[in-house]
Amino acid sequence: MSKIKDILSILEEMAPLAYAEDFDNVGLLVGDQNNEATGVLVCHDALESIIDEAIAKKCNLVVCFHPILFSGLKKITGKDYVERSIIKAIKNDIAIYAVHTALDNHQNGVNKIFCDALGLINTKVLVPKENFIRKLVTYTIAENAEKVRKALFDAGAGNIGNYEDCSFNSKGIGTFMGNENSNPQLGERFEFVQTEEIKIEVTFEKHLENKILKALFQNHAYEEVAYEIYDLKNQHQNIGLGMIGELKEPMKEKDFLLFVKEKMQSKGIRHSNFIGKEVKKIAVLGGAGSFAIKNAIQAGADVYLTADLKYHEFYQAENRLLLADIGHFESERYTKNYIVEYLRKKILNFAVILSEENSNPVKYL
């Protein structure tokens, strides 16, 4: 049998919690991770009806896209849909785990799923994540340099775009003198030592810092490890919100929106003025994406597909692209299918079930 925490580790491999936006509430929201897992139910929203479904199907872990707990609760009395869901989950010992923007920001997550549903090619992140890359600089003797580099690479350092094991190495002269409490690898206490050293520089994603430093300390030859860590302004090209890609063949604007309506099973699409040109370059952002209209324009998109656009936001198209609101749920429709497929490849000893509930609160006449 597996414990719930074993499944959580798999979920964090799929969508690292460090990728989530600061405002979000992701991860384990309810439940004891040390309980034995009986089954996983995957859904879009962990509503009370979903908890009922989990009970009926003997699943004690509900994996949802949207966090049912988003802002703080001061009382849990069952007065609204959130509190009723939480109460039922606790009473029935059911854990709830949310992925939300941790999966939004992943290069294979929500927006890649959106692009794949439309058959887009040459995809890349629309709004790359900022303030997420750090740089480690350390110094060691030449005999130890390869061991240190390999340990840092194995811990996740040195990944840049489509390349792995990236580092910069330079030679220099290091000096030191140990005091009475030292145990130097080179020289003796109170001896001034000059030695040729290799300076190693690698970048890494900031959530890996503890793992990177552990690898450094365990594999470095010196008693006292000299190192520096810097925050970089570089954007992370493979992590971020939204995505932009291309149609294999251009389409007329109206034909394209009808194609989107069919593929995403949208009941209705609100859009800005047609510009009167064929479209090929498409930007997408699942969920509420008005904040990225400028990014879509700057990226040269012909169409920007998102949701939750307000009246005045359609003016921002300014005849530079076609803005289309296809519906919040619809833009994220296939996310739960992706989660189920991912977990089923990793978990073989009990059921991973796709919820039958349609939790879309928006209805159409």
- Cβ neighbors of 341 (< 8 A, separation 6 or more) are none
What confidence score (pLDDT) does residue 16 get? 95
How far apart are the C-alpha atoms of 164 and 250, rounded to whole Å? 35
**One-letter amino acid of 322:** L
What confidence score (pLDDT) does residue 290 get? 98
CA angle 341, 347, 353 (to 5 degrees): 55
How far apart are the C-alpha atoms of 165 and 167, rounded to whole Å? 7
Burial 263-278 (b: 16+ CB within 10 A, else e): bbebeebebbeeeeee
**Interval 319-342: pLDDT, tens:** 999 999 999 999 999 999 999 999
Closest C-alpha to 244, from 283, 285, 295:
283
What confidence score (pLDDT) does residue 19 get? 96
- pTM to 2 decimal places: 0.90
pLDDT at 1 over 60: no
How far apart are the C-alpha atoms of 303 and 254, rounded to whole Å? 11
Pair of tokens at residue 148? 């240190």
What confidence score (pLDDT) does residue 363 get? 94
**Interval 59-96: pLDDT, tens:** 999 999 999 999 888 899 999 999 999 999 999 999 99
**One-letter amino acid of 125:** V
What confidence score (pLDDT) does residue 210 get? 96
Find out whether 125 and 192 touch, Cβ atoms under 8 Å. no
Of the chain, the percentage scoring pLDDT greater than 70 comes to 100
What confidence score (pLDDT) does residue 207 get? 92
**Parallel/antiparallel/unpaired status of strands 322-325 and 352-354:** unpaired
- Per-residue H/E/C for 303-343: EEEEECCCHHHHHHHCCCCEEEECCHHHHCCCHHHHHHHHH
Considering Cα of 233, then 236, then 239, then 242, what sign does the dihedral take? positive
Query: How far apart are the two ends of the chain, measured CA to CA in Å?
Result: 47
Rg from Cα positions in the chain: 25
124 - beta bridge partners?
244
**Interval 143-158: pLDDT, tens:** 999 999 999 999 999 9
